[in-house]
Amino acid sequence: MENAVPLVEVWRGALLESTHSGHAVVCDTSGNIVAAWGDPEAVIYPRSSCKMIQALPLITSGAADRYGLTSEQLALACASHNGAAIHTTRVERWLDQLGLAESDFRCGPQDPADKAAHDGLIRSGQQPCQIHNNCSGKHSGFLTLNRYMGGGPEYHEVDHPVQQAVLAAFEEVTGEDSPGYGIDGCSAPNFATSLHGLARAMAWFASAGSRSDQASAAAGRLVQAMMAHPELVAGEGRACTALMRALGGKAAVKTGAEGVFTAILPEQGLGVALKIADGATRASECTMAAMLIWLGLLESDNPVALDYCNAPIRSRLGLDAGVIRPVAGFIRPI
Amino acid sequence: MENAVPLVEVWRGALLESTHSGHAVVCDTSGNIVAAWGDPEAVIYPRSSCKMIQALPLITSGAADRYGLTSEQLALACASHNGAAIHTTRVERWLDQLGLAESDFRCGPQDPADKAAHDGLIRSGQQPCQIHNNCSGKHSGFLTLNRYMGGGPEYHEVDHPVQQAVLAAFEEVTGEDSPGYGIDGCSAPNFATSLHGLARAMAWFASAGSRSDQASAAAGRLVQAMMAHPELVAGEGRACTALMRALGGKAAVKTGAEGVFTAILPEQGLGVALKIADGATRASECTMAAMLIWLGLLESDNPVALDYCNAPIRSRLGLDAGVIRPVAGFIRPI
């Protein structure tokens, strides 16, 4: 993470308490860099910010249509969800539709971030299961593709046909040979790319509607699904959901662990990718909101933009203690 | 946070996924810098890492002895606890002892980090209260001092005699005029200092046993209390508790929010203070463990040291995905 530049400041009183540096790239549909902060060639794991890429083979293979997947299911395939009832009930139905069970997942159990779901499990003495995993929609997509392809049960292994199909799509849309992979929190491989490659992929998604090839048609369906169902892509109180609602169908955005965030801007024909060097989500959310303002997609006084670009730090009594905001000059003054 | 140097690396597979930079200082009892990384004159908020300083006036005033505070209570006054039953029952008794109630606190309610306490509240339909606040021991100390001094109820305000007594102690032991304060998560003022000043203060605590003045006697009692009751200073699963247990009475260590960590090393007569520029706790814990190894207080193969200096990253299925570790060369190879 060399050559990262300061992007976000955490102020408490009159003192700059902490700072976050990182890299950010805006690409046009030719794959050219329109704007960059830090090192656009920094190699990163996109983590969950590339779920729409991982969902491409689900559609291009014919599996999504074979199983009649809805727009809601495509949104869930791209989601890092809260494990709320709106997510888990749909994932359960999806498993039923495939004739599969929770035990067919390979994502592992995760405590749901949704408070009602979390508290409900505790009250009923139940443990979280793999359906609650924030990636269970992506894994439902993997299971659907695997069912269609007739692959073995260990669909999360890098040599499995499902993941090899993901890798082929990933290298196609990033325009790069992936230099390697890491194991993601959900045990699926996560392929590395330069930030430039990730932004190039997002710009390719942004311009999908202008092309007629099968992969572009698949990309267009995924972007439309994300924008149509922001509550399924993340959940209440989450940045992806709040920002996509505020954007009102003008863009799809997706967070990833360790400080990654991507955006697909169809109207502008632009793709955005950013990585906070230290991996902080508070900083990736702030930077993405700042970039959406900078790109003219959000007004700087939009309440959702302010939630992330001028995020108040309060004491547990509610006293105003500080603010998290972009570095001065990154966007227009708020 | 200029001139911060890389201290911690987050690896996933063969790729360096994230990095953390910061500043660290080791001071001797003369206040001289023995070793430093980054900028020792960086001005920071110590946050909870200076609770032993905030507890000094509780003893030097005579309040602690007037109310017969035990070693356990002094440890709690220095604690950022988990809100487990071992903490909250003692804080409740402390309030009873003072003839005060939960509503006399000004720290605000906080959901306890301790899972049993957290789950217990949900099962019984109760909300967390101010006793669960990780700072309720510190605030019990403030209330005790305030009771002794006869001050007004808003003891958390910076102009209140309690906080002015804290400021005087803080400036005395850091050897600096504090350039200002911020409001901490518990609504108490948190006074700024250079990292050098904070390390100087820790070295002063470390050498307290060699002096006979009232403040040094108070410091000695606080350090002994922290080392005698590591489970009260934080809680099960927490770095301060685990490291102090592993150190077996050779040092007191204390974490603070936004990536701060301090250590008091009586046998060596040294004080340590560090700040991760981006505020990450995973990095402050790793750096502190690395420094304790570097200083010869922990063996590099100590299991607790490895928990923080070679911290495995696992997928939710339990697959080995990566590691969090100090930058190469910071400590002896593990």
d(CA B159, CA B37): 35
Reported as type and span, the H/E element at residue A23 is strand A15-28
In which domain, by residue range, is B209 found? 5-326
pLDDT at B329: 75
B258 touches chain A (CB under 8 A): yes
How many other C-beta atoms are found inside a 10 Å radius of the C-beta of residue B288? 27
Half-sphere exposure of A158 (CA within 13 A, CB side): 10
Nearest to B58 by CA among B127, B180, B147: B147
pLDDT band at A333 (very low <50, low <70, confident <90, very high): very low
Candidates A124, A184, A278, partner chain B, best to mutate (most B CBs within 10 A): A278
| Subunit contact A187:B315, Cβ cutoff 8 A | yes
Please report whether residue B333 resides in a domain: no
Contact B138, B188 (CB under 8 A): yes
pLDDT per residue as tens digits for the range B128-168: 999 999 999 999 999 999 999 999 999 999 999 999 999 99
The CATH number assigned to the domain holding A270 equals 3.40.710
Q: How many CB atoms lie within 10 A of CB B150?
A: 7
| Least CB–CB distance from A106: residue in B10, B14, B317 | B317
> Mind listing the pLDDT tens digit for each residue in B261-294?
999 999 999 999 999 999 999 999 999 999 999 9
Flag whether A291 is in a domain.
Answer: yes
A237-261 pLDDT per residue, tens: 999 999 999 999 999 999 999 999 9
| A56 SS3 class | helix
Helix B214-228 and helix B161-174, axial crossing angle in degrees, nearest 10: 90
Alpha-carbon torsion angle B190, B192, B193, B198, nearest 10? 20
Give the pLDDT band (50/70/90) at residue A334: very low
What is d(CA A259, CA A275) in angstroms, rounded to the nearest whole number? 5
Question: B13 and A258: CB-CB below 8 Å?
Answer: no
How does the average pLDDT of chain B come out, rounded?
Answer: 96
CB B14 within 8 A of CB B322: no
Residue of chain B with shortest Cα separation from A46: B17
pLDDT per residue as tens digits for the range B189-203: 999 999 999 999 999
Query: What percentage of residues in chain A have a pLDDT greater than 70?
Result: 99
Task: For residues A201-218, give the mean pLDDT.
Answer: 97
**Residue A162 C-alpha from the chain's centroid:** 20
Nearest CA among B308, B191, B213 for reference residue B253: B308
pTM of the model: 0.97
Beta-carbon contacts of A321 under 8 Å, excluding residues fewer than 6 positions away, are: A12, A13, A313, A314, A315, B182, B183, B184, B185
- Give the model's pLDDT for residue B331: 54
- Residue B204 gets the label, from left (phi > 0), alpha (psi -120 to 50) or beta, of alpha
3 state DSSP class of A294: helix
Greatest distance between any 2 Cα atoms in chain B: 61
3 state DSSP class of B66: helix
Tell me: the pLDDT tens digits for B303-322?
999 999 999 999 999 999 99
B187 part of contact set with chain A, CB < 8 Å = yes
How far apart CA B247 and CA B298 sit, in angstroms, is: 7
Residue B195 distance to chain A (closest CA, Å): 12
Please indicate if any CB of chain A lies within 8 Å of the CB of B117: no
* Residue A52 maps to a domain: yes
Instruction: Provide the b/e sequence for A48-87 (b: ≥16 CB within 10 Å).
Output: bbbbbbbbbbbbbbebbeebebebbbbbbbbbbbbbbebb
| Residue A93, token pair as written in the block | 């139905």
Instruction: Give residue for tokens 């330069």.
Output: A194
Q: How far apart are CA B147 and CA A325, in angstroms?
A: 40
Q: Is A278 within 8 Å of B18 when comparing Cβ atoms?
A: yes
What does the pLDDT read at residue B1?
60
Band of pLDDT at residue A311, cut at 50, 70 and 90: very high
Please name the residues in contact with A43: beta carbons below 8 A apart, sequence gap of 6 or more.
Answer: A179, A192, A193, A194, B15
How many domains, in total, are found in chain A? 1
Confirm whether A334 is domain-assigned: no
Does B108 touch chain A if contact means CB atoms closer than 8 Å? Answer: yes
Decide if B334 is inside a domain. no
Q: State how far the Cα of B275 lies from the Cα of A19, in Å rounded to an integer.
A: 12
DSSP letter at B184 equals -
Identify the pLDDT of residue A1.
61
Contact list, A319 vs chain B (CB under 8 Å): 183, 187
Cα–chain-centroid distance for residue A24? 15
pLDDT of B334: 31
Distance between start and end Cα atoms, chain A: 29
**How many helices, marked H, and strands, marked E, lie in chain B?**
14, 12
CA distance A60 to chain B (A): 28
Half-sphere exposure of B115 (CA within 13 A, CB side): 6
Confidence grade of residue B2 (pLDDT, cut at 50, 70, 90): confident
Q: Which residues contact B166 (CB under 8 A, 6 or more apart)?
A: B53, B54, B56, B57, B189, B191
d(CA B238, CA B281): 11
A-chain CB neighbours of B15 within 8 Å are: 43-45, 179-180, 182, 192
Q: Is the dihedral of CA B133, B138, B144, B146 positive or negative?
A: negative
Report the alpha-carbon distance of residue A144 to residue A60 in Å, rounded.
Answer: 13
Question: Is B332 part of a structural domain of the chain?
Answer: no
For residue A222, pLDDT beyond 90: yes
pLDDT category at B172 given cuts 50, 70, 90 is very high
* Angle, CA B251 vertex, CA B250 and CA B254 arms, to 5°: 160
Which residues, at least 6 apart from B126, have a Cβ–Cβ distance to it below 8 Å? Answer: none
Query: Apex CA B54: angle with CA B50 and CA B57, to 5°?
Result: 150
Q: Residue B330's pLDDT is what? A: 72
Q: What is the mean pLDDT of residues A178-194?
A: 98
Is pLDDT of B333 > 70?
Answer: no
Phi, psi of A148 (to 5 degrees): -70, -40
User: In Å, how far are B13, B18, B305 from B313, measured between CA atoms?
Assistant: 10, 13, 16
Do the beta carbons of residue B313 and residue B321 sit within 8 Å? yes
Among candidates A58, A61, A53, which has minimal Cα distance to A70?
A: A58
Q: At what angle do helices A195-206 and A214-228 cross, to 10 degrees?
A: 90
- Give strand pairing partners of A5: A22
For residue A21, tell me if it sits in a domain.
yes
Question: What does each C-alpha distance from B225 to A157, B69, B75 come to in angstroms?
Answer: 51, 11, 5
Q: How confident is the model at residue A331 (pLDDT cuts 50, 70, 90)?
A: low
Name the 3-class secondary structure at A307: helix
Q: Which amino acid is residue B19, in one-letter code? A: T
Helix, strand, or coil (residue B312): strand
Distance from CA of B184 to the nearest CA of A (A): 6
- Cα nearest neighbour of A111 on chain B: B316
A319 touches chain B (CB under 8 A): yes
Residue B190: list chain A partners with CB under 8 A.
Answer: 12
d(CA B327, CA B105): 42
| Token code pair at residue A26 | 């805006």
Q: What secondary structure does DSSP assign to B106-162, as a single string?
A: -S-----SSHHHHHHHHHTTPPP-GGGSTTHHHHHHHHHHHHHHT--S-TTSTTSHH
CB atoms under 10 Å from CB of B213, counted, come to 10
Closest Cβ opposite residue A315 in set B180, B184, B317: B184
Mutate to test the interface with B, among A3, A9, A10, A15 (most CBs of B within 10 A): A15
Residue in chain A lying closest to B46 (CA): A17
Q: Which residues of A touch B10 (CB under 8 A)?
A: 258, 279
Mean predicted confidence (pLDDT) in B315-333 = 85
In a domain, A163, yes or no: yes
